[in-house]
């Protein structure tokens, strides 16, 4: 009977043949016992062949489906009880993997390799990541050191609970981080300095920066809708109240159309947030039940196989 590995290292890759030649041997030196799963996301170079040459399992997409889609494919294909996700571009040092795994043993369900400020490529990206981290920390109530890092170790069964939430693009780290906090799973961080990327990045700041920002607000409504809708409701209420007070001071006690509209909007927005909060709670409860059922079936299959 085939032995199930304790650790699987999942590497999404698109046209990363050159970088994999150096990365895969370095991973083997650190964890020779790990299963390495390279997800070839429609590469046009020798990514798949190089990965197989170095003993990795290769799962190939017939065309490029996105970084998030490759991560989900790798998570489904991996057999390890613990998963480590890392990029193929050489920015994530394999030497940090043992520290990530040590923190998992300390009680964390997911540990993220957090890039230091000196690692960021340029002031604009540094400012953007700082903004993302601050907004996400405000929404979750937890300090988030690196919202968008793709270098992380996680319990496989926990990660798979949220596969249906993960987008196919580059924003999967944002989504999985917010989902873990929402479900009460502890998340830890290990700061590290990321070297300059080898090769050409697939992320464009102008195109993907706004997308990341929109995703933060989308996940904010998924994480805790009232934290988004309630402040908006308060702003509408204060705006309507201000206009009403001004009307009293200038022309007597009467509602203007604008003040009435703003006050009504405040009520509607608050009620929408309240309903969304209940829906979110029910959704996560359903996900927990579904995950528990899947884990029970998996345990029964293991018992039958033995």
Give the DSSP letter string of 2-58. PPPPSEEEEEEESS-HHHHHHHHHHHHHH-TTSEEEEEEES-SSSHHHHHHHTT-EE
Query: How many residues would you count in the chain?
Result: 306
8 Å CB contact between 88 and 37: no
Q: Is the model more confident about 282 or about 200?
A: 282
In a domain, residue 167? The reply is: yes
Q: How confident is the model at residue 276 (pLDDT cuts 50, 70, 90)?
A: confident
- Average pLDDT of every residue of the chain: 84
85 and 154 part of one domain:
yes
214 and 87 part of one domain:
yes
Quick one: pLDDT at residue 302?
A: 47
Q: Is the model more confident about 207 or about 93?
A: 93
- The last residue of one of the domains, among 223, 254, 270, is 223
Q: How many domains does the chain have?
A: 2
51 and 120 part of one domain:
yes
Q: How many angstroms separate the CA atoms of 97 and 104, rounded?
A: 11
> Could you tell me the CA-to-CA distances from 21 to 34, 41, 53, 197 in Å, in that order?
17, 17, 9, 15
Mean pLDDT of 124-131: 72
219 and 233 part of one domain:
no
211 and 286 part of one domain:
no
Q: How many angstroms separate the CA atoms of 228 and 206, rounded?
A: 25
In a domain, residue 162? The reply is: yes
Quick one: pLDDT at residue 299?
A: 47
- Containing structural domain, residue 85: 7-223
CATH classification of the domain holding 219: 3.90.550.10
To the nearest 10 degrees (0 to 180), the angle between helices 67-77 and 172-182 is 60
In a domain, residue 1? The reply is: no
In a domain, residue 238? The reply is: yes
b/e per residue 98-114 (b: at least 16 CB within 10 A): eebbebbeeebbbbbbb
Q: Is the model more confident about 43 or about 120?
A: 43
239 and 264 part of one domain:
yes
Helix (H, G, I), strand (E, B) or coil at 252: coil
Mean pLDDT of 164-191: 87
245 and 215 part of one domain:
no
Q: How confident is the model at residue 169 (pLDDT cuts 50, 70, 90)?
A: confident
Quick one: pLDDT at residue 257?
A: 86
Per-residue pLDDT reduced to its tens digit, 236-249: 999 999 988 888 88
276 and 183 part of one domain:
no
8 Å CB contact between 199 and 189: no
- The last residue of one of the domains, among 187, 206, 223, is 223
Q: How confident is the model at residue 86 (pLDDT cuts 50, 70, 90)?
A: very high
14 and 108 part of one domain:
yes
Report phi then psi at 95, rounded to 5: -65, -15
- The last residue of one of the domains, among 223, 243, 275, is 223
131 and 256 part of one domain:
no
185 and 114 part of one domain:
yes
196 and 55 part of one domain:
yes
Q: Is the model more confident about 237 or about 295?
A: 237
Check pLDDT > 50 for residue 173: yes
In a domain, residue 2? The reply is: no
Which candidate, 22, 14, 63, places its Cα nearest to that of 38? 14
Check pLDDT > 80 for residue 288: no
8 Å CB contact between 181 and 142: yes
Quick one: pLDDT at residue 287?
A: 58
In a domain, residue 51? The reply is: yes
């Amino acid at each position: 009977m085939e032995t199930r590995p304790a650790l699987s290292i999942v590497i999404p890759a698109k046209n990363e043949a050159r970088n994999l030649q150096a990365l895969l041997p370095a991973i083997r030196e650190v964890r020779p016992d790990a299963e390495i799963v390279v997800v070839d996301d429609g590469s046009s170079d020798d990514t798949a062949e190089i990965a197989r040459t170095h003993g990795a399992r290769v799962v190939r997409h017939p065309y490029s489906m996105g970084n998030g889609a490759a991560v989900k494919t790798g998570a489904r294909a991996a057999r390890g009880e613990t998963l480590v996700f890392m990029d193929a571009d050489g920015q994530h040092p394999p030497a940090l993997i043992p520290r990530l795994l040590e923190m998992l043993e300390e009680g964390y369900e997911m540990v993220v390799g957090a890039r230091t400020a000196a690692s960021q490529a340029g002031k604009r990206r540094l400012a953007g990541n700082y903004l993302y981290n601050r907004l996400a920390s405000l929404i979750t109530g937890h300090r988030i050191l690196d919202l968008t890092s793709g270098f992380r170790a996680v319990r496989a069964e926990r990660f798979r609970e949220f596969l249906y939430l993960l987008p196919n693009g580059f924003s999967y780290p944002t989504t999985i981080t917010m989902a873990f906090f929402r479900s009460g799973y502890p998340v830890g961080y290990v700061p590290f300095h990321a070297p300059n990327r080898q090769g050409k990045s697939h992320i464009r700041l102008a195109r993907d920066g706004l997308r990341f920002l929109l995703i933060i607000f989308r996940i904010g409504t998924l994480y805790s809708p009232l934290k988004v809708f309630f402040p908006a409701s308060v702003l509408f209420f204060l705006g309507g109240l201000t206009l009403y007070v001004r009307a009293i001071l200038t022309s007597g006690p009467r509602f203007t159309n604008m003040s009435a509209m703003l006050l009504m909007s405040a009520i509607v927005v608050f009620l929408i947030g309240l309903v969304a909060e209940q829906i979110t709670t029910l959704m996560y409860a359903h996900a927990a039940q579904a995950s528990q059922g899947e884990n029970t079936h998996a345990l029964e299959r293991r018992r039958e196989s033995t």
